[in-house]
Structure 1
Amino acid sequence: MAAAAFIFLYGLSYGLVLCLVALGLVVTMGLMRVINLAHGAFAAFGGYLAITLIQRAGMPYALAVPLAVLAVAAFGVVAERLVYARLYSKSQLDQVLVTIGLNLVAVAVLSMLFGPNIVPLQLPDALRGNLDLGLRTFEVYRVFAGAVCVAVIAGLWWVFERTSTGARLRAAVDNRSMAQATGMNVPLLFSMTFALGCGLAALGGILAAPILPMEPMWPMKYLVLVLVVVALAGHGQLTASIAVAAIVGIVDTGGRYLFPQYGAFVIYLLLISLMIARPDGLLVDRAERA
């Protein structure tokens, strides 16, 4: 029971943080139809910037986190106008090659600025320590990170599924010329949506820092897991991403806990199996696919 509780609780908290990072890619790739394989770089920028503000500038955690998220989102607006806007009309291969190149540049810049080693994130005293849950103890920080992820994910779902903003974005993606003819400022809408995706990535990177420590190879190292969530969730499926990320987190945690020598391969076996059985997404209804 203690082992099962560990796998479930730690896997769920890990999956929620992973989901937050992945949702930024779901927004840019699933809704805007641009393949942004440099997404992990924005998450790493958020994590490193928060660490710098806390440990070098002396800012409190509660102030450093939103400032880092806003800074990365603003950087995302600049990057979207200068680079990504030129990729919207390009082929998927061009998008993959350019964004992978940007990821490699980000790795080199992070190595130059922060060195090759892991840089830890100092947590405030309120987020340290453990909670006694009976079967085992559980880190206070993971409860906090999970709660933040749930709140942000719920807000994002509401914006895209229950407001006119989500409807306008889908209309602009499906038929850009018609959307512009109705008076929509499509370039501004795309810039703001891309900034949102970058901000989500940054927040996910910050929350993940104590769980997936910051290192220069972070943008490449964890990109695969984010892509697993996006692939299994299906094209632009925000709600499905939550369930898929939880499953990925629990399976990955369970594999590493039960089979430490081979645990890293369990998640890839899951991906291969599910992509064969459900190529359009884990929770996509068969009737819907037909």
Structure 2
Amino acid sequence: MKRTSFYASLGLALSSLLIAGPAQDIVNKHAKATAAELEAYLKENPDAEDKSRAHQALLVSYNTTGETQKSIGIFQEKFDALGSGAEVPTMALYSTTNSLCNLMLKAGMKKEAGAVVAQAIEKATGNPKEAQLKQAFQTLQGRLNKPGKGDTMAMKFTSVQGEEIDLAAMKGKVVLIDFWATWCGPCIAELPHVMKTYEKYHEQGFEVIGISLDKKSDRAKLEAFIEKRKMPWPQHFEEEQSGNRFAIEYGITSIPATFLIGKDGTIVATNLRGEALEKTVGEHIAK
């Protein structure tokens, strides 16, 4: 197939997606036809000048028909072809890795996505933007590690108040891990619910661990806020590096983010809000 005829047929196939119709199968029919023609074109012309455009059009078709595995194949090919070190294009490495991992997560391939991130970190070694790339990939790795119900978390640190905190030593208690910041409006709005629940159940074995995402220059502001609001639970605050290590490790990209740890040390609920927090804590304290 010549390049001109490829674009003519591609345009016709894509325009057919605009046909009005009450059923999704009409769209799927034309998307599958487009994909089939593009696949044939690339098979006949593996080194086509417009290969990148053909891939983009294929991705549109695969997205329409829900063929995630085929989309993964395209991004895997792009990822493998990127090379490594000083020559690898910075934005291409990040965007390709990010897209590939998102598709793998969608397909339930969490382990495979983690392997891709590890490879991406290796590819970034020796790149002029190595530090920025590796930080971005560590954040992506954190997203893959974001815990859910049934998972466990590990935390050991010295709190702002000077206490030695080890989450593992709290097994047998119900513990709320609360990622928050003084600048976070929704976090502050939830604080009365956390305080009420703490006061009601603390004597029965309920604990709270605050993980502050305040800037490392704002320790005094954080301490003043804790004192003013009379928050009695321990707070973790990062002063020695950029970004909170627990937020990075567990893929926290927005706050408030909470994880309720049951007496057995596993997560029993996430992102509880309002009265749901008090109710759920009460249920697990009673167990």
TM-score range, shorter chain: under 0.3
| Higher-strand-fraction structure | 2
Higher relative contact order (CA 8 A, sep 6+): 1
| Higher-helix-fraction structure | 1
TM-score, normalising length from structure 2? Answer: 0.23
TM-score, normalising length from structure 1? Answer: 0.23
Q: Which has the larger radius of gyration?
A: 2
